[in-house]
Amino acid sequence: MPSTKITVNSNGPLRVEGEFEILDPQGAAFGLAGRTVISLCRCGHSANKPFCDGSHKGVGFQDQQVARELPVPKPKP
């Protein structure tokens, strides 16, 4: 069992559980205040990006998710 689990919620955020850190583009870590469960915005409307604030409910964000296999990566030259 991996130490981090990410659940892609239909019509909602990415739920991250376990041991993880979240970094900004410069590599600085967000202070998570000891949280081991957070939700990341997928709809783009959160006032607290990258974290979800529930805005997806008010804007009608819809994106159904079902697990699937990704194609094999192309070899790098």
pLDDT tens-place string over residues 9-30:
999 999 999 999 999 999 999 9
Domains, the chain, with CATH or none:
1-62 (3.40.5)
pLDDT in tens, 67-77: 999 999 999 98
CB-based contacts of 38: which residues, under 8 Å, 6+ apart? 15, 16, 22, 32, 51
Query: What's the pLDDT at 77?
Result: 87
* In the predicted structure, residue 1 carries a pLDDT above the cut 60: no
Structure token pair of residue 65: 């998710």
